[in-house]
Structure 1
């Protein structure tokens, strides 16, 4: 999927540190309960992404997502987040990427797991 913007965990960490992105964990709730959450990440399960990432949704209205920043998705291993970026890009979303290797690579980076 060559039209998918892919970044690594270190690049994502730097973006979060510089407050330049919305980090979104698209794993299911039971996955977060088993492995932990990434500190500072928003949780929006994959099945709810299209609805909740709509600019008119409550997550934008409540300031949970900043529409002026890049949206960075991650899942457990990178497959679902890559598919989600492709799907959302096809629907007209811009400024969206995913973390290669997902939570697996995040857990071996500077991100704090809580």
Structure 2
């Protein structure tokens, strides 16, 4: 289900927004966040896990994200984005590795970011 790289990342969920929670505002943390409720605002976290009943309206900036629920906003993940079956993502995404499962819905523009070192310069 998770790529080997990101699996260990999601073993350490530190912040949980519960299924009955409704939050308006920005979430910023250097740790992993699991969202099962409703968020209206941006998320900036090391890792993000969007549960099956979760709804996020806002932009997400992270290292890795797995989406089972709904995201309406742009996602920028430096390593991986996984959109699971029945998940819905509406917005532009940028990442190094993108996985969209059969049955998932994605409406937006996707950009794959690659980082290569060439004489000390980073290429995108």
When normalised by structure 2's length, the TM-score is: 0.29
**Larger relative strand fraction:** 2
Q: Which has the larger radius of gyration?
A: 2
